[in-house]
Amino acid sequence: MDTFVNWLQHDTAGLLTLCAVGIFVLLLMIIRLRIEPFIALIIAGLLIALVAGLPVEEIVGSAQSSSDSLLEGGFGSILGHITAIVGLGTILGSLLEASGGAQLLTRKLLSAFGEKRAPLAMGLAGLVFGIPVFFDIGIFVLAPLVYVAARQGGRSILLYCLPLVGALSMTHAFLPPHPGPVVAAGLLGVDLGWLILMGFACGIPAFVVSSLIFPAWIGKRIHLPVPEEMLAAAETGDGEDRPEPGLGVVAFIIGLPLVLILGATFGSITLPEGSTLLQVLTFIGNPTVALTIAVLLAFWLLGLRRGMTGAELSTLTGTALKPLGMILLVVGAGGFFGEVLSATGVGEALAGSLQANGLPILVSAYVISSGLRIAQGSATVAIVTTGGIMAPLVVGAGYSQPQLALIAVAIAAGSIIASHVNDGGFWIISRYFGIPVKEMLKTWTVLETLLSLTGFGMAALLSALVS
């Protein structure tokens, strides 16, 4: 027995076996036992740490202090990086939603592109509005416009809804301030400016292939009508009597934080170190500062100036932040799980094994993330777990910021592959657009797989070009 334990704790094969068993137990708890992912991540992390022989004080701390423990440090390190960013991004998206900015933008696009190109307009609306809002919120807000456009066009609803949901999925997977990419950036030490650049560079081609070309093909082969009950609700309206914001204001609010963050990134490349302009750009381009500026402007431009009271804005903000609790718990538990894998030596063992087999780290990140996504359905869990596994392999390994950003994109791409019945998004789309399960597998599952594969392919191509 002692020999077996020693093999698990010190031999490369034993450490890899321990990692594989830990992930199997994690998936078993999530899939079979229906345990909340954040609890399952904590249990799996504790079991791996104990079996690996880590001292109890290192795992949970002592009776006097736990601040240096893996448990507290793992939670704190990643949550300290992402909490403010994700929270501010959520508030910004909620303000855009409540102000009617999303509906305004979509109507303007539909008017500009015309009935014939309405599917393209829906895709562009999802692309723009998907940057500041969660995937499901984007569907809830924009679905009524899909119903109306599909009814007016007289064609399959798939031609209109697939570009929209594909665009929302792309932004949700590849671009900050969404939780997945922000978590990946925090775990791998990626500057968000570089992640935005690489996210767009990989995500836009993936969007074109999966969400414009594929829907145009499949929508002509599978005809599904607009759900009548949904169309009736869309045509009823919500009775909002406040004036809509201007299109320029909506575009300004959405684009401002991205411009500020990218300004800091480009400034660090082009400006001399220590210059006053670089310090200004670095300050206002910090993701938390940039989003705070955007939120304050949104409070005024989208809220107070349109007649909302301070109490209404406070209620709106509180409501927007409520769903973040479970997301942050999963992320924190994933941070602990990753810290355990690093402390036990699993990361080093995995790195050695990958080098011996000649498997590029980008491919490894994608394969691991894809496997976790297909097995348990949650993109967030797939990103958090894969990031924890890959972090020890990249930290201190000499990767540049563009290379690290592409590894994060590969993880994000894997986290959205092959959406099926264990994914909550699968059922939201099915319900809102009246798509039966069989047709969902033929359309949405294929779209997500194309989005994933093309995004990863672009990341692999760019990784051969950047240094």
Cis peptide before 177 (omega within 30 of 0): yes
Q: Rounded CA gap, 199 and 73, in Å?
A: 29
Q: What is the pLDDT of residues 63-92, one digit of tens each?
A: 555 567 888 888 887 888 788 998 998 899
Q: Where are the domains of the chain?
A: 2-463
| Per-residue confidence (pLDDT) for residue 11, from 0 to 100 | 67
CA distance 361 to 199: 18
Give, to the nearest 10 degrees, the angle between helix 192-207 and helix 401-414. Answer: 50
pLDDT of 134:
85
User: What Å distances lie between residue 425 and 28, 120, 134, 170, 444, CA to CA?
Assistant: 21, 22, 11, 13, 10
- Which residues, 6 or more positions from 136, have their beta carbon under 8 angstroms from its beta carbon? 424, 425, 428
Counting as low any pLDDT under 70, the low residues of the chain are 1-12, 62-67, 229-242, 347-348, 350-352, 354-356
pTM here is: 0.86
Residue 47: CB atoms within 10 Å: 16
d(CA 334, CA 328): 10
Spell out the alpha helix ranges (H) of 100-213. Answer: 101-113, 118-129, 135-153, 158-174, 179-188, 192-207
Tell me what pLDDT residue 391 has: 86
**Per the structure block, which two tokens stand in for 134?**
């969660």
Which residues lie closer than 8 Å to 394 by C-beta, 6 or more apart? 188, 189, 361, 404, 407
The CA-to-CA distance between both ends of the chain, in Å, stands at: 47
Residues 6+ apart with CB under 8 A from 101: 129, 244, 245, 249, 250, 253, 302
